[in-house]
Amino acid sequence: MSFNTFGKLFRFTTWGESHGPAIGCIVDGCPPNISINENDLQKELNKRKPGQSKFTTQRKEDDKVEILSGIFSGKTTGTPISMIIYNKDMRSRDYETIKNKFRPGHADYTYFKKYGIRDYRGGGRQSARETASRVAAGAIAKKVLEKKLGKKYKVIGAVTQLGIIGCDTKNWNEKIINKNPFFCPDKSILKIWEKYLLGIRKLGSSCGAIIEVRVRGVPVGLGAPIYSKLDMDLASAMMSINAVKGVNIGAGMNSSALTGEENSDEIIQKGKYPIFKSNNAGGILGGISSGQEIIVSFAVKPTSSILKSRKTIDKFGKNTSISVKGRHDPCVGIRAVPIGEAMAHCVILDHFLMNKAQCGK
Amino acid sequence: MSFNTFGKLFRFTTWGESHGPAIGCIVDGCPPNISINENDLQKELNKRKPGQSKFTTQRKEDDKVEILSGIFSGKTTGTPISMIIYNKDMRSRDYETIKNKFRPGHADYTYFKKYGIRDYRGGGRQSARETASRVAAGAIAKKVLEKKLGKKYKVIGAVTQLGIIGCDTKNWNEKIINKNPFFCPDKSILKIWEKYLLGIRKLGSSCGAIIEVRVRGVPVGLGAPIYSKLDMDLASAMMSINAVKGVNIGAGMNSSALTGEENSDEIIQKGKYPIFKSNNAGGILGGISSGQEIIVSFAVKPTSSILKSRKTIDKFGKNTSISVKGRHDPCVGIRAVPIGEAMAHCVILDHFLMNKAQCGK
Amino acid sequence: MSFNTFGKLFRFTTWGESHGPAIGCIVDGCPPNISINENDLQKELNKRKPGQSKFTTQRKEDDKVEILSGIFSGKTTGTPISMIIYNKDMRSRDYETIKNKFRPGHADYTYFKKYGIRDYRGGGRQSARETASRVAAGAIAKKVLEKKLGKKYKVIGAVTQLGIIGCDTKNWNEKIINKNPFFCPDKSILKIWEKYLLGIRKLGSSCGAIIEVRVRGVPVGLGAPIYSKLDMDLASAMMSINAVKGVNIGAGMNSSALTGEENSDEIIQKGKYPIFKSNNAGGILGGISSGQEIIVSFAVKPTSSILKSRKTIDKFGKNTSISVKGRHDPCVGIRAVPIGEAMAHCVILDHFLMNKAQCGK
Amino acid sequence: MSFNTFGKLFRFTTWGESHGPAIGCIVDGCPPNISINENDLQKELNKRKPGQSKFTTQRKEDDKVEILSGIFSGKTTGTPISMIIYNKDMRSRDYETIKNKFRPGHADYTYFKKYGIRDYRGGGRQSARETASRVAAGAIAKKVLEKKLGKKYKVIGAVTQLGIIGCDTKNWNEKIINKNPFFCPDKSILKIWEKYLLGIRKLGSSCGAIIEVRVRGVPVGLGAPIYSKLDMDLASAMMSINAVKGVNIGAGMNSSALTGEENSDEIIQKGKYPIFKSNNAGGILGGISSGQEIIVSFAVKPTSSILKSRKTIDKFGKNTSISVKGRHDPCVGIRAVPIGEAMAHCVILDHFLMNKAQCGK
């Protein structure tokens, strides 16, 4: 039972507020003798960090991560790995004017009512800034899994829908995903998305997105039948990301509209290995990985901080309105891609270790 | 870390296989001095039990629950509540012919590969029979919350989509939900669903469903900002139900297609209490309940056990095919309604107790 | 976080009251493919069960255990193992006269004050009857470890002090331990103990005991440096047994009176393996097993239910006195031997699985 | 399940190695709106820090703690509190000569065998330096409890035995404890201890100690009957401190030598409150606090790093010997006093919150 820890055997605990001195993360349960250095983490953090294109917030953060423990002579020692990222480009004054107002769509109202106190600067703990810590944790999980499962292990996330415009996942092209500002896998839609998002931004509005994360090279057998289902933990992981409101495994919500024969993936033995003729299950059957590609997708709601004026109340219970200036992403969903990947790494490693424990393989 | 336990402070552990002597459940962490008797549990179990209409499996199970501990003079004592349900109408021979085959869409293949052994009779542990235990646990949580939160607390689940046919939730009528075999809230669609499902059954096929669970009377403040988000735990709870492949909170997956101003729910003070003008958030902001109605929906895939022949392999790696006779629900989603309600009760109580612990209210 | 569960990866949850219909236990996280049958459990339970000699309570309980799940074709399947023991020889009327009185040395007062309600019959949940469930769980852990570690793995408990009379552990003789009613390892003291305990019983009094548990065949490397120390978990396990008030690892409390050179166990390489010249560490260094014999001992206070009249109060706050008749052990410590062994098995297996998870061996 | 986290609802996670850049601690689950500043923590840390008298190590560490999160406007916000202490006076070269040798009595051998890698500088993670983090966590728990329970709540630790010389606890005088270098409560023994310990140090040897921690002002009702016993968690807490080998609650190991009537504490009603005539139970009955003073004591083994030459082996399996120079405490037990106090604060707060959750008070 823990409020700020994720995972069971491979666990990470994050801490820190958006405008405090720093944020950070402790990884516990990491296997020993894994080569890890700060560059490994930085590479992943750079994918998430703000200010990289005109489509993300202009807050300037290096997101430079330092490792403070758990690594000796370049290798993990089995002790907790503490990582810290100092906050730099904080403009706390930006928040003075709204410190008593509850921004609609944000956690301002619920936080204050729950705790009776809140750090309103940049959203405090509720800021998506926390997710940098997870990306660092995910980078460690990735290194461990690459060593344990080999080259075939790979996690790839992409944006498959931007606002009202979906891309065609049949055009999925992994080579382009990290080469466009949208983490889009479909070349044919790029121009349209660019136009669309510029329009959204110009209007002082924002839009949502759907992110799809694919995991390859996971052996059959990770997960458990009931309350440690692999899909349950993936859903939990993705739903823990700020602004996520829905999660699908494989065919997801659409599986409701399929018939039994459309949905259940037939199995055919080909040589030594079984092949599944389709993948509506998203690589998970009965909570356990089947060896197929694991597919999880999730929806990120539109950024709630928008220029358009919105009705709200203040902490004294008075009606008022708000228009959030600051520096905000027109679509926070875009930066959720490396976060979704990181969470997938962490869940897979967690279940890999659990399987090792119970089934010895 | 636990494979068969759900919850943090209000915890339940289930056990048992479909064709073993019994199934059961231990509830731990229940507050003392709550009046509970077996009838309270039976009422909920009866909603889930099979053989109640022509639209569910014809397996005959009383699902009669006995309480073995934790209650003294009709009241909870704070010690673990053990409940047992004996299995009765087992026809294990039905499964002899398929004991070496992996049914597509089922966990047969993944279980066997993980554990190297499996109780194939009726799906063993992977059978939806396990969910009877959760319904019993949920009935206890319900009693506790009704005492702690009063009459205003209420959880109502309904089927809002059956296969390809959605109902109109604007016609939501709570009075009819428990009076039709589909737990349907929209009177206007009943006849159509009946015809549709009979057709599906006649074809030896099956269909999926979407279930929506609404929770009323939850105070503002349940949940936590990051890894104990209320929506995260609800998603986890629903995804742990057999055959669930997608979970939405409020606008859910559709929130991706909204703009910031469409999505964020404006707040207006009316007398002593704030009113939200819409509820895309599904009653949860930043992982914490807002006092609005909590809305969670989830998709149940179509029953995988169908008459139609499907290609598969056996445990020796040989290609074969399968046609499942037995006694199966044409739409397992229908019986998921009381299960979804039960899981909602358990999650809400868990967070109610956590809030009590940390915030003292 | 759990009130009635012990363990991290190999976990068991117990339930049941002394005079309820039954008591029981769920084991979760047990590895699959381990041969286990009810006889394996019964053998261990028989060591603990009451009424076996004139030195233990005359309550007659078969303590016949039934397995309700988790075993298929004689082998564990990886799913939870549910075990039940029905209560038989309950004389609840014996407790009517004391139902409003708080027995000194018992949990009566504290339970009532905490929960505001209590099952006073036979001590309810606080009865040592609960320990039968642990013995069943321990029997399962034992079977798993015997398979994983081989014949060299062995746990032996014995009473080394009865009241004021200690035995000489230099005379430790394992062959006699299970052949005398005291689980005494020192033949030379047997007669004296018998006389002493008969005297105690005749006086309507009771005495305490010290139990020592030795664990052999544990590989080096189980445990962890800080908050999952093997000795920490052993101390926790033993202190969870009813009436235990002190726990020692190796030299234990006496290590305070040693000098550095007396205490630290020198190491000498002999062929392939290191030999320790002494074992003040009790087989655990820095929280991690060293491969030496693990030695844990604990003190059980004298039975609090005695014939002698004691001053106390009732639940209305009135002064009164009490003399407990019923059927009680003159020294509950004796029956703590199989319980201490069971807890040792469970802790060792738990750490064995954790080591597998993190260090892969 | 966690290797580096302590607690259930009030949880702290520590990280860091003796000769790494820093050590630190995350406190999770702290109630909001508690006034805390760095001075509150520093005061407690100063009691533990080295180099304060000729009887402790001469390593010079300010142990200056910084708070990085979780506090806003001087008050806790309910989010994780991250604390960091930079390491300063590290002389890692001191350890070069022994980097391949396993120091007897230390965790060197077991660590290396478990993880296959170890940071040998100053004991790495196994160094008692980690305990500074706990003292910081304990200082937070103390502040919370002082607010929740009021002035009557107090924890006082003292050394009651130094090597072979016990003090007389009947002379227990709280005013002198923090005014002598031994945290000794008995004025009459001070001179003798001083002479004794100087002798030990001169010989290049070391000695053990017994620490007693008393907790006052704890309400009746904290704890739980079986696997969350208050005494179980206190034993676990104390046994997690480096070099601790035994733990007693109340009469502890000595309770084995008492008769039932000597041991069980009689109860007498005096006005509104019950009075216990003795306190062999150490304030805990059946795992639940009775409202009496809670008394826990533990033994710390003698420092294993001594000048005297000891036989050992190196990591290549060769016989060798070792004589540890460095800067070491002749009796590490002395500095365990503030650590024992800190752990007591944390356990009490943890159970205070659990009681709030389950019993609402």
Is the pLDDT assigned to residue C229 strictly greater than 90? Answer: yes
- Are the Cβ atoms of A210 and B255 closer than 8 angstroms? no
| Test mutation, D9, D25, D76, D82, chain A, max A CBs within 10 A | D82
pLDDT (0 to 100) of residue C108: 95
Min Cα separation A112/chain B (Å): 9
B337's CB contacts (< 8 A; 6+ apart) are B47, B157, B158, B159, B183, B211
For residue B282, give the nearest of B264, B309, B261 by alpha carbon.
B264
Compare CB distances from D356 to B1, B32, B360 and report the shortest one's residue. Answer: B360
- Distance of alpha carbon C124 from alpha carbon C17, whole angstroms: 5
pLDDT in tens, B30-67: 999 999 999 999 999 998 887 777 777 766 778 899 99
Q: Please state the pTM of the whole predicted model.
A: 0.97
Question: How far does the CA of residue C1 sit from the closest CA of chain A (Å)?
Answer: 6
Question: What confidence tens digit (pLDDT) does each residue in A131-156 have?
Answer: 999 999 999 999 999 999 999 999 99
Count of structural domains, chain C: 1
Rounded to the nearest angstrom, the minimum Cα separation between A345 and chain B is 16
The reply to whether D198 touches chain B by the CB within 8 Å rule is no
Distance (Å, whole) CA C165 – CA B95:
62
Question: Which residues of chain B neighbour A294 with C-beta distances below 8 Å?
Answer: none
Q: Residue C258's pLDDT is what?
A: 97
Is residue A332 within 8 Å of residue A300, measured between CB atoms? Answer: yes
- Residue B338, pLDDT > 70, answer yes
What pLDDT is stored for residue D130 in this prediction? 95
Phi, psi of A240 (to 5 degrees): -80, -10
* R_g (Cα) of chain A, nearest Å: 21
Chain C touched by A286 (CB under 8 Å): no
Out of B9, B228, B240, the one facing A227 most closely (by C-beta) is B240
Taking the alpha carbons at both ends of chain B, their separation in whole angstroms is 27
C residues 340-359 lying closer than 8 A (beta carbon) to D = 354-355, 358-359
* Rounded Cα–Cα distance for residues A35 and A27 (Å): 15
Only one residue has tokens 């003070």, namely B269
Quickly state the pLDDT bin for B326 (edges 50, 70, 90). Answer: low
Write the CATH number for B315.
3.60.150.10
Rounded to whole angstroms, how far apart are CA atoms D156 and A291? Answer: 57
List residues bridging with C13 in a β-sheet: C5, C26
Residue of C nearest to B76 (CA): C117
- Contact call for D119 and A77, based on CB within 8 A: yes
In tens, the pLDDT along D173-201 reads: 999 999 999 999 999 999 999 999 999 99
pLDDT, tens digit, for every residue of A220-264?
Answer: 999 999 999 999 999 999 999 999 999 999 999 999 999 999 999
Q: Which helix (H) or strand (E) holds D296?
A: strand D294-300
Tens of pLDDT along C144-162? 999 999 999 999 999 999 9
Q: Tens of pLDDT along A100-125?
A: 999 999 999 999 999 999 999 888 99
Query: Is pLDDT at B333 greater than 90 in this prediction?
Result: yes
| pLDDT 10s digits, C56-115 | 776 677 889 999 999 999 999 999 999 999 998 777 677 788 889 999 999 999 999 999
Strand partners, C165: C162
User: Which residue in A360, A253, A332, D359 sits closest to C76, CA to CA?
Assistant: A360
Ranges A270-274, B167-171, D56-60, most confident: B167-171
C125: pLDDT strictly greater than 70 = yes
Instruction: Give the mutation candidate from C17, C264, C358 for the D interface (greatest D CB count, under 10 A).
Output: C264
Write out the DSSP string of C189-238: GHHHHHHHHHHHHHTT--B-EEEEEEEESPPTT-B-SSTT-HHHHHHHHH
Q: One-letter amino acid identity for D184?
A: C
- Residue A26, pLDDT > 70, answer yes
Q: Which residue of B lies nearest to A211 if distances are taken between CA atoms?
A: B256
Q: Which is it for strands C11-16 and C5-6: parallel, antiparallel or unpaired?
A: antiparallel
Average pLDDT over residues D239-244: 98
More confident residue, C98 or C246: C246
Predicted confidence band at A327 (pLDDT cuts at 50, 70, 90)? Answer: low
Backbone φ/ψ region at D124: left (φ over 0), alpha (ψ -120 to 50), beta: left
- Report how far residue D150's alpha carbon sits from residue B311's, in angstroms, rounded to the nearest whole number: 71
Distance from CA of A222 to the nearest CA of B (A): 7
Q: Which chain C residue has its CA at the smallest distance from D209's CA?
A: C256
pLDDT in tens, A57-96: 766 778 899 999 999 999 999 999 999 999 987 776 777 8
Looking at every residue in chain D, the average pLDDT score rounds to 94
Q: Could you read off the pLDDT of C17-61 as tens digits, one per residue?
A: 999 999 999 999 999 999 999 999 999 999 888 777 777 776 677
User: How far is it, in rounded angstroms, from Cα A172 to Cα A176?
Assistant: 9
> What CA–CA distance (Å, rounded) separates C276 from C280?
10
Q: Tokens in use for A162?
A: 């931007």
C146 CB burial (10 A radius; 0-12, 13-18, 19+): middle
In angstroms, the separation between the Cα of residue D47 and the nearest Cα of chain B is 29
ipTM reported for the complex, 2 dp:
0.96
What are the backbone dihedrals phi and psi of residue B152, each rounded to the nearest 5 degrees, phi first? -65, -20
User: Taking CB atoms and an 8 Å cutoff, what residues of chain C touch B80?
Assistant: 3-4, 13-16
CA gap B245, A250 in Å, rounded: 7
- Expressed as residue numbers, the domain containing D212 is 5-359
Q: Within A34-130, where are the H helices? A: 38-48, 108-115
Neighboring chain C residues of B26 at a CB cutoff of 8 Å? 4, 13, 15, 26
Query: Average pLDDT of chain B?
Result: 94
User: Token pair for residue C218?
Assistant: 């544990």
Is D164 near chain B, with CB under 8 Å?
no
Q: Picking from A86-95, A297-306, B152-161, C199-208, which range would have the lowest pLDDT averaged per residue?
A: A86-95
Instruction: List chains touching B (3+ CB pairs under 8 A).
Output: A, C, D
- Burial string for D225-260 (b: 16+ CB within 10 Å, else e) reads bbbbbbbbbbbbbbbbbbbbbbbbbbbbbbbbbbbb
And the tokens for A300? 């990120």
Neighbors of chain A by Cβ distance (3+ pairs < 8 Å): B, C, D
